[in-house]
């Protein structure tokens, strides 16, 4: 064994992945356990690869995972389960390792995006952990609250406002929860607590069901319908974009905010509309998902009612959505039918 201590069949420090731990979190904990910065540690294991040059949580290859599984005496199946690729078929049909994927937060590891928050966290979860680590579902843009502690997630250091970039921590760091910039322990932060309002409680319930659905691939829509989770999230994403990028998005959001008695908000959009949702801050996504959770509640009656009240027609609801899920398309057509009926009744009354 050389002076690095990394030449044996197994790594000297036995660090296993925690429940739903993110691959990059596990790699960072492994690195710190060996007293090395993550870049240096990974250069020993994979000398021909630049592990931290891109989104390792999405781009990890089978060969890379096989080495990690062997060195940590962890099954390849369990090792693969730390990656975002393991969400494929549930979060969406295909997770492309090199392009923007619906509801996967943008990778903040790349230098050009380092100012963007690509990972969320719950401080209370980090405090409660015997061994603190970052969850895989904290990379999902459709999740903005902690279902265990009923608090909103954070996506930046509360002291210096830098996003979470634990792969930049020095090797002598005592815990993965340190901010790489100012060294604050993120576990001591205080996330905003949710209140007892119907909107907040509805969002907690929706996200709890969503996280459970990530294990089965099926989502309970309304009282009597079960749909594929990937289809539901595709519709949720489409409607979210509509409330952010549509030409009348400001009016639509203002109307829904009044109905829910929520303060109006204008999301700070990223430079590219391709990242319209994935590039939003956790605060903006939280407010957006409050509206979406209410809009899709009591499916399909409330959806149709809101569309009619806000003059959202099939041309808006289906634009840039090829091959929509059948259950969604059929409901959208009812919006058109109800509008035609409404016009006919109005014409009759006028006569």
pLDDT at position 350 is 52
CB atoms within 10 A of CB 57: 24
Instruction: Decide: helix, strand or coil at residue 27.
Output: helix
Per-residue CA distances from 256 to 76, 202, 225, 263, 331 (Å): 46, 15, 25, 10, 20
Ordered DSSP codes for 158-175: TTT-PBP-GGG--TT-S-
Residue 1: the pLDDT is: 36
Q: How many CB atoms lie within 10 A of CB 298?
A: 12
Give the chain's residues under pLDDT 50. 1-5, 110-112, 344-345, 347-349
DSSP state letters, 53-71: GS-HHHH--HHHHHHHHHH
Buried residues in 241-258 as b, exposed as e (16+ CB within 10 A) = bbbbebeebeebbebbbe
d(CA 213, CA 10): 35
Q: According to the model, what pLDDT value does residue 3 have? A: 44
Residue 80's pLDDT is 98
**Partners of 21 in beta bridges:** 135
Please, are residues 207 and 144 in contact by the beta-carbon 8 Å criterion?
Answer: yes
The pair of three-digit structure tokens given for residue 46, joined into one six-digit string: 């994979």
Which stretches within the chain are classed as H helix?
Answer: 23-33, 38-45, 56-59, 62-72, 76-80, 123-128, 198-216, 229-245, 249-260, 282-295, 301-309, 314-317, 326-350
Domain boundaries, the chain: 23-188, 198-350
| pLDDT of 2 | 46
How many degrees, rounded to 5, is the angle at CA 294 between CA 293 and CA 295?
Answer: 95
The set of residues, in sequence order, having a beta carbon less than 8 Å from that of 156 and lying 6+ positions away, is 117, 162, 163, 164
Q: What is the pLDDT of residues 47-100, one digit of tens each?
A: 988 899 889 999 999 999 999 999 999 999 999 999 999 999 999 999 988 888
**Whole-prediction pTM:** 0.91
Nearest to 118 by CA among 300, 282, 3, 337: 282
pLDDT of residue 274: 73
The pLDDT of residue 224 is 84
Give the whole-angstrom CA distance, residue 348 versus residue 342.
Answer: 10
């Amino acid at each position: 064994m050389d002076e690095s201590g990394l030449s044996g069949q197994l790594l000297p420090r036995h660090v296993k992945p925690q429940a739903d731990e993110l691959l990059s979190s596990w790699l960072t904990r492994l690195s710190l356990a060996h007293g090395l910065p993550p870049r240096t540690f990974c250069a020993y294991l994979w000398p021909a690869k630049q592990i931290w040059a891109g989104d390792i949580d999405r781009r990890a290859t089978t060969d890379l995972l096989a080495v990690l599984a062997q060195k940590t005496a962890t099954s390849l199946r369990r090792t693969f389960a730390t990656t975002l690729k393991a969400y494929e078929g549930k979060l969406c049909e295909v997770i492309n390792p090199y392009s923007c994927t619906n509801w996967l937060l943008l990778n903040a590891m790349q230098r050009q995006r380092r100012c963007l928050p690509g990972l969320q966290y719950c401080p209370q979860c980090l405090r409660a952990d015997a061994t603190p680590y970052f969850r895989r579902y904290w990379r999902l843009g459709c999740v903005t609250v902690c279902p265990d502690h009923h608090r909103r997630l954070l996506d930046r250091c509360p002291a210096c406002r830098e996003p979470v970039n634990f792969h930049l921590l020095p090797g002598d760091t005592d815990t993965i929860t340190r901010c790489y910039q100012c060294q604050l322990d993120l576990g001591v932060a205080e996330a905003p607590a949710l209140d007892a309002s119907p909107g907040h409680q509805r969002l907690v319930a929706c996200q709890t069901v969503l996280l459970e659905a990530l294990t089965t691939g099926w989502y309970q829509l309304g009282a009597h319908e079960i749909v594929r989770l990937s289809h539901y999230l595709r519709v949720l994403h489409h409607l979210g974009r509509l409330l952010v990028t549509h030409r009348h998005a400001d009016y639509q959001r203002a109307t829904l905010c009044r109905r829910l008695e929520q303060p109006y908000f204008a999301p700070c959009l990223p430079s590219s509309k391709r990242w319209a949702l994935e590039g939003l801050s956790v605060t903006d996504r939280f407010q957006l998902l409050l509206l979406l959770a209410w809009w899709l509640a009591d499916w399909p009656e409330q959806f149709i009612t809101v569309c009619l009240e806000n003059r959202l027609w099939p041309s808006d609801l289906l634009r840039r959505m090829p091959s929509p899920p059948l259950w969604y398309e059929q409901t959208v057509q009812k919006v058109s039918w109800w509008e035609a009926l409404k016009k006919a009744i109005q014409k009759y009354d006028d006569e």
